[in-house]
């Protein structure tokens, strides 16, 4: 079973491993591409969030660091939502049922969107799983962050606070 799970995880990660070959990573100051996706609670449109700071996170059910980042993202919403922070978490699973199962185990207050074709992370130039982008109130990328570890929490929150302040 473990071997089968590891093979499935590797096969599921393979398309993401090819992402840098298909697009370039966005840098600070670049305009965030459009994002119009089906969401858990209706359509999700990044342009509709202009004027807010957005933490945009690309995730998948098979990604262990994603399980760790979801509670942290909820903490950020609780602490900074009133100051103008929105969190949009874009799921990349090909099967919606895998995402739904993850969300039952790790519930979230983030805006959840689905991109089973993986087009959006290619346009953003995502390089790892998870990859997050901090998008300023002006719709421009302020920072990209690959992966998620406990040690990332402080610097990422500081970057969010900076984006919210300016």
What are the structural domains, with CATH classification, of the chain? 2-165 (3.40.30.10)
Report which DSSP code applies to 120.
H
Mean pLDDT of the chain: 88
Which positions ≥6 away from 44 have C-beta within 8 Å? 35, 36, 37, 38, 88, 111, 112, 113
Is residue 46 classed exposed, middle or buried when 0-12, 13-18 and 19+ CB atoms within 10 A define those classes? buried
Section 31-59 average pLDDT = 96
pLDDT level of residue 63 (50, 70, 90 thresholds): very high
């Amino acid at each position: 079973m473990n071997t089968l799970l590891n093979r499935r995880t590797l096969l599921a990660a393979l398309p993401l491993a090819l992402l840098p070959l298909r697009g370039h990573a966005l840098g600070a100051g670049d305009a965030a591409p459009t994002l119009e996706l089906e969401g858990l609670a209706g359509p999700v449109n990044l342009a509709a969030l202009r004027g807010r700071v957005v933490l945009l996170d690309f995730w998948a059910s098979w990604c262990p660091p994603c399980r760790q980042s979801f509670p942290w993202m909820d903490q950020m919403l609780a602490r900074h939502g009133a100051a103008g922070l929105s969190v949009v978490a874009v799921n990349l699973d090909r099967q919606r049922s895998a995402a739904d199962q993850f969300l039952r185990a790790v519930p979230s207050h983030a805006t959840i969107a689905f991109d089973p074709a993986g087009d959006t992370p290619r346009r953003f130039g995502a390089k790892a799983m998870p990859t997050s982008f901090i998008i300023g109130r002006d719709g421009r990328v302020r920072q990209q962050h690959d992966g998620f570890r406990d040690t990332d929490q402080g610097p990422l929150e500081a970057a969010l606070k900076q984006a919210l302040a300016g």
